[in-house]
Chains A and B, each alone.
Chain A
Amino acid sequence: MKIPEKDQDEALLKRSAKGDEEAFTTLYRRHAGPLYRFALRMTGSGWGAEEIVQDVFMTLIREPARYDAMRGTLPAFLFGIARNKVMKHNERQPREISLVERSEDGRGAGITPRDPHTPAMWAEQSERLEKVRAAVQELPVEFRETVVLCELEELTYQQAAQLLECPIGTIRSRLHRGRALLLAKLEMLRDAPQRWRSAG
């Protein structure tokens, strides 16, 4: 019989609250990835995302009793903390410019196209992705987080509603408005080179 992930999370959290490092490591490895990507896509800053993930797990270390299983799942709880940290991060650094960050192996930690056939294509695709990322980044926070979860993380509306602790209707409405804004920005991005080419 398979134990539901929610129960596993609770059991792991209880064990880690008692000092079981293995349980805590399992919890961390299970949830840190999605949290990191969410934070990275929301802040556009690798360092910021790292700090947010660290803060989320520090909260879990310091106050494990803050998680109430009756109120929702552990991922929803962690996302809730991450969202607050993202807000604080954005308030603190509203004009932060993301510098080129390097990963531990020395490569760029930014967006890398998955199938670059030629260097020119690679450069074009990379530039395009960077612009899409910037367009997403410019969305207001509440629209951005629904776009990030539903379009980039490809969660269902139900899953997004659980994580953001709001009704599905709210997700639909935010997504609708977020998409409208995003479409307008992407249209502008699409038209700009064409206009430049036609002018040239």
Chain B
Amino acid sequence: MNDRVPMNCEEFEIVGLDFEREGALHEEGRQRASQHVRSCAKCGALQASWSAAQVELAALGAATRDLAVPSRVETRVLQQFRLKHQSRRDRRAMKVAMWALAAAAMIVFTMGVWNLHQWRQRSLAKTQPQNSLQSLSDANPSASAVIRNGGAALGSSSQMLWASNLSANADGDFTQLPGATFYGAEDGAIVRLGMQRASLAALGLPVNEETAGDWIQVDVLVAGDGSPQAVRLPQ
């Protein structure tokens, strides 16, 4: 006895038309549709009509199944692919190059600044002793010979300790010049100069106007950088 509910026409139209198609209906549905199409003339005609249409659709499907994409499409697509990835590679290389260039420029700039700084320090170190001695020489032309000796003394005695020089040559105490900073530097020298007393004013010392024209011997304590630090009047 078959206790399945028979399929009606409406249901057949919706789900039963392709009951023969694989996977379209489960087994029970397929049997009900098959049963209905045998018993209903209208749905049988519909089924026959659809089968004829399916043949035509299958023929159309078969006629177009082997249609392949024209090779020009593949060429164009691959061209775009290459273009995109080539330009990406180029951009990446350019970015790396730009960073490398920037880093190199930075290094060159830093080295340049450092070299300039070094060069300035060296040139300052060279010019300052000459300048300070030159200023004294300008203040008192007659002292230039002594300055030359002093310069030589400065060069030759640069290895001597400032403190030992001071004790060896001291006839009196040194007077620190205004603005001079006493570091206790190891490089330094005592330079004896012959000058008019008025020239002491150039070093910032007070001068008595009455004795300003007197010629005196002055020991100048010159620091390693050439700047005069202190003076004394030898007895």
A33 & B68 in contact (Cβ 8 Å cutoff):
yes
B63 & A114 in contact (Cβ 8 Å cutoff):
yes
CB distance from A150 to the nearest CB of B (A): 9
On chain B, the residues within 8 Å of A186 by CB distance are: 52-53, 56
CB distance from A153 to the nearest CB of B (A): 7
Query: CB within 8 A of A182: which of B53, B72, B82?
Result: B53
Q: Is B97 an interface residue (CB 8 A)?
A: no
How many inter-chain contacts with C-beta < 8 Å in the A-B complex? 116
Give CA–CA (A97, B52) in the complex, Å: 28
Report the count of interface residues on B (CB-CB < 8 A): 41
Q: Is A127 an interface residue (CB 8 A)?
A: no
CB distance from A41 to the nearest CB of B (A): 7
Give CA–CA (A187, B49) in the complex, Å: 8
Give CA–CA (A132, B23) in the complex, Å: 25
A176 touching B14 in the complex, CB below 8 Å, given contacts A151-B57, A157-B23, A186-B56: yes
On chain A, the residues within 8 Å of B85 by CB distance are: 19, 21
B64 & A152 in contact (Cβ 8 Å cutoff):
yes
Closest to B46 in A: A183
Give CA–CA (A132, B69) in the complex, Å: 22
Give CA–CA (A15, B73) in the complex, Å: 21
B70 & A24 in contact (Cβ 8 Å cutoff):
no
The main secondary structure of chain B at its interface with chain A is helix
On chain B, the residues within 8 Å of A180 by CB distance are: 13
Give CA–CA (A183, B51) in the complex, Å: 10
Q: Is A141 an interface residue (CB 8 A)?
A: no
Q: Is B76 an interface residue (CB 8 A)?
A: yes
Give CA–CA (A41, B189) in the complex, Å: 105
CB distance from B85 to the nearest CB of A (A): 4
The main secondary structure of chain A at its interface with chain B is helix
Type the 1/0 row for A180-198, where 1 means its CB is closer than 8 Å to any CB of B.
1011001100100000000
Q: Is A170 an interface residue (CB 8 A)?
A: no
On chain A, the residues within 8 Å of B24 by CB distance are: 157
Give CA–CA (A148, B147) in the complex, Å: 111
List chain B positions with a Cβ less than 8 A from chain A: 13-15, 17, 22-24, 46, 49-50, 52-54, 56-65, 67-74, 76-78, 80-82, 84-85, 88-89
12 further contact pairs, Cβ within 8 A, besides A24-B78, A61-B80: A21-B81, A24-B81, A25-B74, A32-B73, A35-B69, A53-B69, A61-B77, A114-B62, A128-B56, A147-B57, A151-B54, A183-B49
List chain A positions with a Cβ less than 8 A from chain B: 16, 19, 21, 24-25, 28-29, 32-33, 35-37, 40-41, 50, 53-54, 57-58, 61-62, 103-104, 109, 111-114, 125, 128-129, 132-133, 136, 147, 151-154, 156-158, 172-173, 176, 179-180, 182-183, 186-187, 190
